[in-house]
Structure 1
Amino acid sequence: MDSSPRFSTCLSWKRIVCSFFLPFILSGLAPSRKYKEYLISGEVRPQLPQYRFNWSHLTPLELKNRSMGLQTESIAGSNPYFTLGGHKFLIFGGSIHYFRVPRAYWRDRLLKLKACGFNTVTTYVPWNLHEPQRGKFDFSGNLDLEAFVLMAAEIGLWVILRPGPYICSEIDLGGLPSWLLQDPNLRLRTTDNGFVEAVNQYFDHLMARVVPLQYHQGGPIIAVQVENEYGSFNKDKDYMPYLQKALLKRGIVELLLTSDSEKEVQRGSIKGVLATLNMNAFQENAIKSLHKMQEPSEITGLSSNASQATSSCLY
């Protein structure tokens, strides 16, 4: 039988070093002596830095007053910021695609997202999976969007929904159902009659499920994205405004937004909808350009300084 030690000498030294330095590290994280004196004396403790916020009351189960959804505000001497329920709010969002994760693992993944410090989960909605055949819809099992959204709310996460109809998401045909290709004359992602007829039928089924899950209805959905990166396609100037109206017509009342790359954001934006950027890394020049191209007063449901808050939106 192999009698070699179970742990290497290197690993043992690492443990010794960590054990030695841990008290010093923890002491640096502990409250300062001056702060302890405030606690003992009962005096009013010093103000925390302004960048610290307590969002424990801004969760789907705790926030009962739903009269004010996601919007922005600004005060003199301060950059514009998002608010939720009238409270200052910063979106920390991460993506979990329910249709790519076995339903049995949904809770585990959402809990891990929450444990990482996120307060929002974003997800696409794949049209091709929900309507695999024309007129036959499936929202069961691993495609139960409503169950996923409600589970997110139960765990304490807000939801930003990205329903497409085109979602990209590295999925075949960007999530558009393949049966659309049976018509060789149909023009995808345009106001072509054949395409918008199919979109309307799909949205009728999808939005009937989404509307009750909105923030103003007591649900966790605080924003809805219109299509996805249309600026890179840009084949029909009427297409994005058409989708915007299609969502509003079916009862979507939360903040609407678009999402595009830096070079295509202007071509993919819609008047009255918050434009956001897709970036692999923060680029200050890109944010400045975004601020200049937006028309803040036209953003639906937002204050006149809405454009300056888009840098806080995690897209």
Structure 2
Amino acid sequence: SGSPPPHPWLSWKRMVGIFFLPFILSGFGPRFKQEENLVIGKAHPPQPRFNWSHLTPLELKNRSVGLGTESTGQGNPHFTLEGHKFLIFGGSIHYFRVPREYWRDRLLKLKACGLNTVTTYVPWNLHEPERGKFDFSGNLDLEAFVLMASEIGLWVILRPGPYICSEIDLGGLPSWLLQDPRLLLRTTNKGFMEAVEKYFDHLIPRVIPLQYRQGGPVIAMQVENEYGSFNKDKKYMPYLRKVRDPGFGPTFTCLLPPSPGLSLLYAALATINLQKLHRNIFNQLHKVQIAGLLSDASQAATSFSL
């Protein structure tokens, strides 16, 4: 009995054609790209890509300027890092919600997405579960998480609250605060201020060595979180800025639409959370940012540094 005839789909001509197909198609690539750049008969060369490889914690050795803002007058203001144009591509990883054994894996995946910055909340209720008893170990080792991000080549933005929201009980405020019926949360109430100051006395010394100018990856910090929707005390935001500031900056506030002006804080950049686009929201935010610069001439500035 003879061998069966070869299947027509397995002929040598078809096999050779399939093998060389990728090489044949690659020759058409440049022509297709060129045609895409033709608009009404005019060729538009592809826009150059910025190279920020030197603006990473691993490569940036000179730490004299820090994160800033700049406007050339010919376009929108932009961030700078050490004087170079810098875009913040950030994503959030909350170290206290991820098992420590998976931190490196998650940070590497974040970087693989093309991001250059990781942001994280700092949960007061977990770091001080009982009044006066602090825990920064194991899965709550904030310093280890930040340093690991630096080793991987990521910048860090910290959001220490004290209120962080983050869909966590009481917005991250420790429940033992409620034992005092006279205490008013998120205000300059004496009892609340004393508790915040004791917490920051433990937190801030841990963060100082992680700052940009100290060789660390922390390029900015947030003051409180979404206070505009609470807004019970006009003195609260300036108080927080002062109580945790031995030279911490740049700082920013995080607001909620549609009334971002409620938590205006001088010398801090106003930013906004968006779940959906609101009409003219960016125009409103811009007015808040300008007002923050002009309201106090002694603190008005077009740049800031850490």
- TM tier relative to shorter chain: 0.7 to 0.9
TM-score of the superposed pair, with normalisation by structure 1? 0.80
d(CA) in 2 for partners of 1:286, 1:233: 19
Residue 265 of structure 1 and its aligned partner are, at CA, apart by 1.5
- Corresponding residue for 2:261? 266
1:142 matched to 2:139: yes
Residue 184 of structure 1 and its aligned partner are, at CA, apart by 1.1
- Corresponding residue for 1:280? 275
d(CA) in 1 for partners of 2:253, 2:243: 15
Native 8 Å contact 1:212 1:219 kept in 2: yes
Residue 61 of structure 1 and its aligned partner are, at CA, apart by 1.4
d(CA) in 2 for partners of 1:281, 1:23: 45
Q: CA RMSD in A?
A: 2.8
- Structure having the higher Rg: 2
1:174-253 residue pairs with structure 2 within 5 A? Answer: 174-248=171-245, 251-253=246-248
d(CA) in 1 for partners of 2:220, 2:165: 19
d(CA) in 2 for partners of 1:115, 1:301: 39
Letter of the 2:84 counterpart: H
Native 8 Å contact 2:227 2:263 kept in 1: yes
Residue 270 of structure 1 and its aligned partner are, at CA, apart by 0.5
1:1-315 residue pairs with structure 2 within 5 A? Answer: 49=47, 52-248=49-245, 251-281=246-276, 285-294=280-289, 295=291, 296=293, 303-304=301-302
d(CA) in 1 for partners of 2:23, 2:232: 62
d(CA) in 1 for partners of 2:150, 2:193: 32
Cα deviation, 1:267-288, whole Å, max 9, x if unaligned, reads 1221121000101245572111
d(CA) in 2 for partners of 1:60, 1:301: 29
Native 8 Å contact 1:60 1:220 kept in 2: yes
Task: Identify if the C-alpha distance between structure 1 residues 274 and 24 changes in structure 2 by more than 3 Å, giving closer, same or farther.
Answer: farther
Native 8 Å contact 1:73 1:303 kept in 2: no
d(CA) in 2 for partners of 1:49, 1:154: 31
d(CA) in 2 for partners of 1:268, 1:218: 31
Task: Identify if the C-alpha distance between structure 1 residues 215 and 305 changes in structure 2 by more than 3 Å, giving closer, same or farther.
Answer: closer
Number of aligned pairs? Answer: 274
Residue 31 of structure 1 and its aligned partner are, at CA, apart by 9.9
d(CA) in 2 for partners of 1:140, 1:177: 18
d(CA) in 2 for partners of 1:283, 1:24: 49
- Corresponding residue for 2:16? none
Tell me the secondary structure at the aligned position of residue 258 of structure 1.
Answer: strand
Tell me the secondary structure at the aligned position of residue 224 of structure 1.
Answer: strand
- Corresponding residue for 1:11? none
Give percent identity, aligned residues only. 65
Task: Identify if the C-alpha distance between structure 1 residues 302 and 182 changes in structure 2 by more than 3 Å, giving closer, same or farther.
Answer: same
d(CA) in 1 for partners of 2:199, 2:278: 37
d(CA) in 2 for partners of 1:123, 1:74: 28
Residue 33 of structure 1 and its aligned partner are, at CA, apart by 10
Residue 133 of structure 1 and its aligned partner are, at CA, apart by 0.6
Tell me the secondary structure at the aligned position of residue 91 of structure 2.
Answer: strand
Cα deviation, 1:215-240, whole Å, max 9, x if unaligned, reads 01110000000000001111111101
d(CA) in 2 for partners of 1:150, 1:107: 11
Residue 263 of structure 1 and its aligned partner are, at CA, apart by 1.6
Residue 304 of structure 1 and its aligned partner are, at CA, apart by 2.9
Task: Identify if the C-alpha distance between structure 1 residues 182 and 120 changes in structure 2 by more than 3 Å, giving closer, same or farther.
Answer: same
Native 8 Å contact 2:266 2:299 kept in 1: no
Tell me the secondary structure at the aligned position of residue 259 of structure 1.
Answer: strand
Tell me the secondary structure at the aligned position of residue 222 of structure 1.
Answer: strand
Native 8 Å contact 1:272 1:299 kept in 2: no
Tell me the secondary structure at the aligned position of residue 90 of structure 1.
Answer: coil
Native 8 Å contact 1:214 1:254 kept in 2: no
d(CA) in 2 for partners of 1:302, 1:220: 26
d(CA) in 1 for partners of 2:121, 2:61: 27
d(CA) in 2 for partners of 1:302, 1:27: 56
Letter of the 2:262 counterpart: R
d(CA) in 1 for partners of 2:186, 2:108: 36
Native 8 Å contact 2:57 2:150 kept in 1: yes
